[in-house]
Amino acid sequence: MTQFETSSNTDMLSNDDSAKPPSLFWTLTEGRAVFELGWFYTLRPLMNRLPSGDGHPVLVLPGFLASDVSTRPLRGVLKDLDYAPYAWGLGRNLKFDDAREAEMLALLDTIYEEHNRKISIIGWSLGGLFAREIAKARPELVRSVISLGSPISPNRKHSNARKIYDRLNGSPDVSQSERMAQLNVPPPAPTTSIFSKTDGVVAWRGSVQHDEPGHPHTENIEVPASHFGLGVNPLVVYLIADRLAQKEGEWTPFDRDGLKGVVFRAPANQ
- Provide the pLDDT confidence category of residue 213 given band limits of 50, 70 and 90: confident
Least confident of 113-122, 183-192, 211-220: 211-220
Helix (H) or strand (E) holding 38: helix 33-47
CA 40 to chain centre: 19
Q: What is the pLDDT of residues 103-130, one digit of tens each?
A: 999 999 999 999 999 999 999 999 999 9
In 3D space, the residue among 95, 120, 92 whose CA is nearest the CA of residue 108 turns out to be 120
In the chain the domains, ranked by start, together with CATH numbers, are 8-263 (3.40.50.1820)
Predicted pLDDT at 17:
57
Pairwise pLDDT comparison (16 vs 113), residue with the higher score: 113
Predicted pLDDT at 27:
96
Pairwise pLDDT comparison (170 vs 210), residue with the higher score: 210
- Provide the pLDDT confidence category of residue 47 given band limits of 50, 70 and 90: very high
- For the segment 131-139, the average pLDDT, to the nearest whole number, is 96
Predicted pLDDT at 215:
76
Looking at the predicted structure, is the pLDDT value of residue 239 above 90?
Answer: yes
216-255 burial, b at 16+ Cβ within 10 Å, e below that, comes to ebbbbbbbebbbbbbbbbbbbbbbbbbbbebeeeebeebe
Looking at the predicted structure, is the pLDDT value of residue 4 above 70?
Answer: no
